[in-house]
Amino acid sequence: MKMLALASLSLALLAGLDDEKKPFGIGDKVKPELVLETLDGKSLNLVEACEDELVVLVFWSLRDPLARTYEKRLTKLQKDFEKQPVRFFLVDSNYDELFSPTIDTLARLKEFVEKQKLELEILLDHDNIWADRFGALSSNHAFVLDPRHFVRFNGAIDDDPKGTRTERREWLKQAIEAVLARSDAPHPIARPIKGRPIQRKPRSL
């Protein structure tokens, strides 16, 4: 219920924004000018870098214990689709993880990736531009873009964050399979599992 209320509030706040600032909805095309930074300090234009590829974006947090669970599941998904034109990205949009007056945040992220042997690509969303354009609420909030970069899925990776169910509703996997088959995702919108809320940049900065 809290997530639904938060989503409703977010939509209400964004209702008055122009089309260039409203979050992408299902069927909307991602703008080519959206650029992120890689851990190597390079700029990545998603549309140019992933031409003719299905793209999976999962908003992510270094400080979210639940993200550790989903990193393993996403790594498995990436291997399941490694022979398909599918590219996975984790997107860190958290101001408190990307900016610090005392810590080299980039070095900390690189150290984490090396220690965890994380195989998923991480992109840095400075100023929360991507989180705002996608309407991402928290870590583990996933999106699927088809090879033409239209949004085809928005929501939870699955319905089993604790790993206690004998069977999971694997919404993200189903969406990927459907889009690869040039079909619609069976559940294009799945209520996001509550992860760590994205820590956006303070408005005063």
pLDDT in tens, 184-204: 999 999 988 889 999 998 876
Whether pLDDT at 10 is above 80: no
pLDDT given at position 18: 53
Task: Give, in order, the Cα–Cα distances in Å from 54 to each of 89, 155, 171.
Answer: 11, 16, 16
Residue 157 DSSP one-character state: S
Closest CA to 93 of 140, 65, 125: 125
CB 137 within 8 A of CB 192: yes
Enumerate residues 6+ apart whose C-beta is below 8 A from 149.
29, 30, 32, 46, 47, 50, 55
Q: SS3 for 188?
A: coil
What's the pLDDT tens digit per position in 141-173?
Answer: 999 999 999 999 999 999 998 888 888 899 999
Structural domains of the chain sorted by starting position, each given as residue range(s) with its CATH number in brackets: 29-190 (3.40.30.10)
**By the 8 A CB rule, do 136 and 130 touch?**
yes
Residue 4 has pLDDT above 70, yes or no: no
Band (pLDDT 50/70/90 cuts) for residue 87 is very high
Q: What is the pLDDT of residue 33?
A: 77
What's the rounded Cα separation, in Å, for the pair 163 and 153?
22
Instruction: Give the per-residue pLDDT at 7.
Output: 46
Instruction: Output the CA–CA distances (angstroms, integers) from residue 110 to 18, 25, 57, 95, in the order listed.
Output: 37, 32, 19, 17
pLDDT tens digit sequence for 31-86? 877 789 999 989 999 889 999 999 999 999 999 999 999 999 999 999 999 999 99
Q: In what order do the strands lie in the sheet with 35-38?
A: 43-45, 35-38, 121-124, 86-92, 54-60, 141-145, 151-156, 189-190
Nearest to 121 by CA among 55, 178, 192: 55
pLDDT at 190: 94
Lowest mean pLDDT of 5-9, 26-30, 43-47, 87-91, name the range: 5-9
**Alpha helices of the chain — where are they, by DSSP H?**
2-14, 46-49, 65-80, 95-98, 105-116, 129-134, 171-180
Query: Does the pLDDT of residue 176 top 80, yes or no?
Result: yes
Q: What is the pLDDT of residues 90-115, one digit of tens each?
A: 999 999 999 998 999 999 999 999 99
Going by the DSSP 8-state scheme, the letter that residue 86 receives in this structure is E
